[in-house]
Structure 1
Amino acid sequence: MQLLSEAESWKLFCRTAIPNNVIDNCPPELKVFGEKMVKKCAGLPLAIVVLGGLLSSKKQLPTVWEQVLNKLQVPFSEGNGVDAILSLSFIDLPHNLKSCFLYLGLFPEDWVIPKRELLLLWITEGFIPQQDEQRMEDTAEDYLNELINRNLIQVVAVSINERSKKCRVHDLVRDLCIKKAKKQKLFEIQNNIVHVPSSCSSHPSTKCRRQGIHFGSGGKFDLEMVEFSNSIAKLENLRSLYLEAYLPGMPSFVMNSWLHLSKLQIKGRIPQLPNARQFPPSLTQLTLEETELDYDPMAILEKLQKLLTLRLRKDSYLGEEMQVSAHGFPRLKVIQLFGLNRTKEVEYRKGWHVKAYSVAGF
């Protein structure tokens, strides 16, 4: 990591700590405290920008900056400047942002995270207050922007209208997420395997903040080679699951163990879906993407008695036709078909009705 000179450090600090700063300097009454804090950052860009992000979220008053400096004095003196700044920045987060922030530790090191995927995962996890779906996404994006403004998340790609499109977290920030998540019994990572506190499974009455799990994989997901901890396989109260991998077959623990699973998202090729009776009985939301099914999935999915929302996204189905029977999907409210480029026709038998229906991509 390349260190900055004193002048460069001060310029970067002023730019990040003072909102709408165009002169790369700070008011005289704040300067004495700012200089002391910047000096302790020892030219480390991450320490400077996170410190700046923390201060930018506060009132620009000498008493406020002095309080921040005092909280950092002891850790700074012990040579733990970066850790101290990161920890203080986490402590300073509003309560509703802390779980969203810690969740970032689940992504692999240097992983580029698509914004929409992250927002939907936060919603699925139950981190976003219950509202209608669009408002929940807007709230989730507000949370993301707050973390970006605090320099805890790095934007790596923006859209045409300059909104964040992809992001990632610094390795040291990710380490903090993992450490704090373990302490708060949200999750633990050992040898790249996610472990959930056993209290979540063996003691349903015990408070457990984690309701969902995201498994991501860059390649084939071989169930005979990957060891899932007992705490995961026995998560009887799990509410949501996101799987991203090539699956030779649907994992039996998804279908048989998690009776309360209500939200399931699968991204990656699956040769065959299980029959309707093998799906979690409480499933209300199902999303399939890039599953590359070569047979009409509706014959199975329409029998899911409690399903409220179905999303078939890019290349989830490779056939030309789909058919829904008159009595299919008895409780379905929303169906979204997107990116099914080979599908030419979707037939709905007379008498079938759904509240919200959207189609794009074929």
Structure 2
Amino acid sequence: MRRRGGGQDGRVLDVLALSFPDLSYQLKACFLYLGNYPKDFDINVERLCQLWIAEGFISQEERGEDKTMMDVAERYMGELAQRIGFTKLPSSIGNLRHLQTLDLRTSYHGEISVPNVLWKMEGLAYLYLPFGYICTEGKLQVDGLRNLETVQNLALDVVHVRDLFTLPNLRRLANVRVKEKLKDLTMVNKYILNSNHQLQHTSITIQICDLRSKDELSLLRQLLGCVCLVELSIDGIIGKLPQYEHQLLCPSLTTLVLKYSLLEEDPMATLEKLPNLRNLSLFSYAFVGKEMICSAHGFPHLV
């Protein structure tokens, strides 16, 4: 880390050289692993994190009760990214009371620091939160933003789900992420099934390890009856799809992703009746039965 150079490469090396000795053993290993890639190579962050895990760079001791190895790897990525000048939002942004659009999305999926001042920005109509992990004081508040029409990447382990009920003009709720807490899924259901809201488009990602109980299957059944649900991704064990009457199938659902569902019965008899489904993805043990059969007239709009 003593080498200096000109231009952008030299600046990055200069910054890292000041802090490299202070990195933990794991972070040093993760950083040095980047030497395997050629200059200007586009690195897939998820793939890199997986390689770090495979190499044994990610500490099991840092997982915690509700964290995965990938969570820890992405946190490592965030720490390294911050060393070379990445995404901390200043608290003074809360003073922009009349700002209408705040887009915090980046190609970087690590941890990003966001001050808990968004609730002060009364003029916000479009809020795009980072896809990666958000570091903030407590849970990020978005309550009372009466002009808000669009929210994207709303992770309910970071933002209070109850805040949704204080957003009277919300029309687009994109990529709501529900992780492990059944009560959060219950509250999301309660909100989107409420006839008083203005929602026209909702997409939800559910990451709950096991969804096989009667209560959880009932929640899924309710979701698929929601007229504003357009995209649904489920990462967790279902075992079998909820049973519905044909007329209750979600009329708006265009995209469905199932992962680790462990479906034993052929799901096609149910899925092919979704009237507007255009994209269906089955990943990583979504189906573990013997065969799936699609009828000649099923999936009328599948691309």
TM-score using structure 1 length = 0.43
TM-score using structure 2 length = 0.50
Name the one with the larger helix percent.
1
Larger Rg: 1 or 2?
Answer: 1
